[in-house]
Amino acid sequence: MSNVLVIVESDGSGPKAAALPGITAGQQLAAATGGQLHLLVLGASPDAAAQALASGGYGASAVHAIAGAELEPFTAEAWTDAVVAAVRELGVTAFGGTASSTLREVVPRAAAVLDAPIVTEITGVTGADAFTREISAGRAIATLKVSHAPFGFTARASDFAPAEPGSPATTVSALSAGSVSRRGATVVGVEKTQSARPALTEADVVVSGGRGMREGANFKVLEELTDLLGGALGASRAATDAGMVPADLQVGQTGKVVAPNLYFAVAISGAIQHLAGMKGSKTIVAINKDPEAPIFQVADYGLVAKWEDAVPQLVELVRAHKGG
């Protein structure tokens, strides 16, 4: 039987929201192979998170925990050792999870150690060994097949629905980490961005600004709209490269991939690199003074206007609606 192992990042008390699409991909792969789904939690004290996963079920037959002081704070070197040990002990045929910044580092390393093939940023599971992924900045879809097992995979979060609890609870088993080493890597410090807004990749509403915003101070009006809608602020690469806003707000091929229910593209022309990061949004609203801007080709609603005129009016309308 072909079993699938999904590595689940946790916040200490349960799975991170960003990890849930990876579980869905694992569910689909397990169904395609006729095998069982296994979930893996790593950390210095992963028991609480593992128990939360086990209580929710998530379609898994078992939840595994590997505890070790070397696993926290995160280093790719130590996590790779733990994942390799789990793959070998459980004898799974596939391992991976959400294509987060963490697993983008770990899964390829583990695949290299195991001399295993890997499929990255998959957008769909079409068979036991077949997957789809975007290429050429989303202008084409490739179908990939793996040649042998075990193999690694990372799943694009915007293309898989978050897994939900509800299936029968399962058990938690402790696995040995084996020989875990950071290989000389030292975590000097961890700086976390504190914000009252939701994470960019998890928000239901994203308001993004582009080169046409001209300077960082002008993003204040976008922040007003963002906060009224309870969303997250984003930007195009042109805006972040120009220093208008921090680089971690970048949406696009080389930034974050988002798929909110509502996406505002303000003063963004719509280069293919940006579209690759947001075209999966359920509803796209574009505001641009150029009627020929490519963004209008993917927008559900388009307004040809200067942002200086349109956005303040929109802010007032939303504020009046909420006040009413």
How far apart CA 163 and CA 157 sit, in angstroms, is 11
Q: Is the dihedral of CA 5, 6, 10, 14 positive or negative?
A: negative
Supply the range of the domain harboring residue 242: 205-323
- Average pLDDT across the chain, whole number: 94
How far apart CA 110 and CA 95 sit, in angstroms, is 9
For residue 288, is pLDDT > 90?
yes
Note whether 160 and 228 are same-domain residues. Answer: no
Note whether 169 and 226 are same-domain residues. Answer: no
How sure is the predictor about 67, in pLDDT bands with cuts at 50, 70 and 90? very high
pLDDT number for residue 187: 84
Q: Is residue 189 part of a domain?
A: no
| Domain end position, chosen among 135, 157, 174 | 174
Mean pLDDT of 226-248: 96
Note whether 26 and 110 are same-domain residues. Answer: yes
Mean pLDDT of 306-324: 92
How sure is the predictor about 289, in pLDDT bands with cuts at 50, 70 and 90? very high
Note whether 219 and 139 are same-domain residues. Answer: no
Q: Is residue 254 part of a domain?
A: yes
For residue 187, which phi and psi values (nearest 5 degrees)? -85, 110
Q: Are 212 and 267 in contact (CB under 8 A)?
A: yes
Note whether 255 and 214 are same-domain residues. Answer: yes
For residue 64, is pLDDT > 80?
yes
Order of strands across the sheet that contains 262-266: 232-235, 205-209, 262-266, 283-288, 301-304
Q: Is residue 138 part of a domain?
A: yes
Q: Which residue is associated with the tokens 């088993």?
A: 173
How far apart CA 270 and CA 287 sit, in angstroms, is 11
Q: Is residue 193 part of a domain?
A: no
For residue 324, is pLDDT > 70?
no
pLDDT per residue as tens digits for the range 273-285? 999 999 889 999 9
| H or E stretch covering 20 | helix 20-33
pTM for this entry:
0.85
pLDDT number for residue 192: 72
For residue 321, is pLDDT > 60?
yes
How sure is the predictor about 196, in pLDDT bands with cuts at 50, 70 and 90? confident
For residue 14, is pLDDT > 80?
yes
pLDDT number for residue 4: 98
Note whether 141 and 271 are same-domain residues. Answer: no
pLDDT number for residue 34: 95
Mean pLDDT of 39-55: 95
Q: Is 143 left (phi over 0), alpha (psi -120 to 50) or beta?
A: beta
End-to-end CA distance of the chain: 59
pLDDT per residue as tens digits for the range 93-117? 999 999 998 999 999 999 999 999 9
How far apart CA 311 and CA 136 sit, in angstroms, is 33
For residue 189, is pLDDT > 90?
no
Note whether 135 and 277 are same-domain residues. Answer: no
With a CB cutoff of 8 Å and minimum separation 6, the contacts of 188 are none
Note whether 144 and 222 are same-domain residues. Answer: no
Note whether 22 and 163 are same-domain residues. Answer: yes
| Domain end position, chosen among 174, 195, 226 | 174
Q: Are 78 and 180 in contact (CB under 8 A)?
A: yes
How sure is the predictor about 195, in pLDDT bands with cuts at 50, 70 and 90? confident
pLDDT per residue as tens digits for the range 117-143? 999 999 999 999 999 999 887 889 999
pLDDT number for residue 240: 97
Note whether 285 and 165 are same-domain residues. Answer: no
Q: Is residue 249 part of a domain?
A: yes
Q: Is residue 44 part of a domain?
A: yes
Note whether 219 and 122 are same-domain residues. Answer: no
- Total domain count for the chain? 2
Q: Are 214 and 221 in contact (CB under 8 A)?
A: no
Note whether 209 and 170 are same-domain residues. Answer: no
Q: Is residue 186 part of a domain?
A: no
Q: Is residue 196 part of a domain?
A: no
Residue 292's CATH number: 3.40.50.1220
pLDDT number for residue 176: 87
pLDDT number for residue 125: 98
Residue 50's CATH number: 3.40.50.620
How sure is the predictor about 1, in pLDDT bands with cuts at 50, 70 and 90? low
| Domain end position, chosen among 153, 174, 195 | 174
How far apart CA 3 and CA 92 sit, in angstroms, is 5
